[in-house]
Structures are given as C-alpha cells and as structure tokens.
Amino acid sequence: AEQHRFRDLQAKIDERRKVRNETFVAYQRKKKEIEEWSIPPGPSAEEKCEIEDEECEQLHFLMEPIVKELKGYKRRLRELRQKRVEAAVERQRKVDGFLSNAPLPKGFEESLEAPEEQTVPTPEVEKRPWEETKQAADKAFKDKDWNTALSLYSKALESEELEALQRATLLSNRALCYNRLFEWNKSLEDAVDATVLEAEWPKGWLRRAT
C-alpha cells in the first residue's frame, strides 16, 4: 500500500514537471518571437503629403460655410451702418426741415454747389496764410478734387487769426466737401459748428438743413 501511494505521488510530481517544462518552453518561444518583432516604418514623404492634402480638403469643407456666414454678417453690418447714417441724416433733416421751406432773405441765393467766398470786406493788404490756403482749397473744390479741398480747409481752420464769420465760412465749405465724399455725419457736425459760431448767418443754417 505504501509503495502504491509512493508511485501515485511520483506520477503526479512527474506530470507537474512536464506541464511546467512545457509552459516554460512556450514562454521562451513567445519571448523570442516578441524580440524578433520590429516597429513598422511610418508613412513616406509622399504619403504624408497625401494625408496633409486630405486634411486640408476636410478643413476647407468645414470652413467654407463659416467663411460664407462671416461674409454675410459683414455685408449686413455694412448695410446696417449705412442705414443708421441715413436715418441720422433724415432725423436731422426733419428737425431742421423748416429751414429749407422757410423764405430766404432777400437777395440770398439758395444754390449750394460752390464753396462760400469771404463776405467780409478787407482792406488791400498782404494776404494772410489762411487766406491763401482757402483760395487754394476753393480752386481744388472747383476742380472737384474733394480730398485736397478738405485737407486745405482743415489746414486753414488751424489758424488762430480767424474771426467768427471767417471760421464759420471755412466750416461750411468743409461741410460741403464732406457731403461730396458721402461722410454725412462729419458734414453735419461742421454745419452745426458753423451755425453755433454765427447764428445769424443764413448760409450756415441752409447748409445745416441740406
């Protein structure tokens, strides 16, 4: 009986050794296979270019509706700004509209197609710098060079020798330049300043109303 038990025990030990040896051999074989593995190379330069082109095309398709929408917003914003300017001008015209319908002083011309000439008589003396600048601005205006005329009128307004009516005249002329350049708000500002300086000067009020 003891011998039979010993043989059974020996058989179990041999079986375990066999399983262990087989497991160890399988492990060594697998380890060798893993060591022989190699990391595959990345994409070639040509493949990279193709990938980038594909990504760019996808980005283009994604951005196209966004860019289109932004352009639409910009267009609407420009239209809204233009409408706001037109509405402001229209409101000011309604406020001052009575001026254009009121009878003009006797001998006063309604035409606003030319800049104002100085109406205050001056003695025959050497012209001051601002007067020469104003004459150059008047000539530029007659030549329809609005930007040059605008710049020269602005330069003339920098003079400290100007009297109230002279400054009002220059402001009125500059307002007309802004009007020709479709800068309605600035035109209205200069016309209002002219009427503030010379409240009894009719041409300033007529410029403001129109």
Bigger pLDDT: 57 or 125? 57
Residue with tokens 């600048």: 133
Please state the rounded mean pLDDT for residues 15-39: 84
pLDDT at 2 over 80: no
Distance in angstroms (rounded) separating the CA atoms of residues 168 and 205: 11
Token code pair at residue 29: 């074989």
pLDDT of residue 59: 77
pLDDT digits (tens, 9 = 90+) for 117-174: 555 444 455 667 888 888 898 988 888 888 998 889 988 888 888 888 888 888 888 8
Burial 94-103 (b: 16+ CB within 10 A, else e): eebeebeeee
Is pLDDT larger for residue 114 or for residue 43?
43
pLDDT at 111: 45
Query: Cα separation of 169 and 116, whole Å?
Result: 6
pLDDT given for residue 162 in this prediction: 83
Q: What is the pLDDT of residues 83-107, one digit of tens each?
A: 777 777 777 666 555 444 545 444 4
- The fraction of the chain above a pLDDT of 90, given in percent, is 0
Please give the average per-residue pLDDT across 52-69, as a whole number: 80
State the pTM of this model. Answer: 0.43
List the one residue out of 115, 150, 155 whose CA is nearest residue 131: 155
pLDDT at 109: 47
Spatial distance between the Cα atoms of 187 and 190, rounded to a whole number of angstroms? 5
Predicted pLDDT of residue 107: 45
Surface-to-core class of residue 176, CB atoms within 10 Å of its CB (0-12 exposed, 13-18 middle, 19+ buried): buried
Name the least confident of 39-48, 66-75, 102-111, 143-152.
102-111
- 133 or 51, greater pLDDT: 133
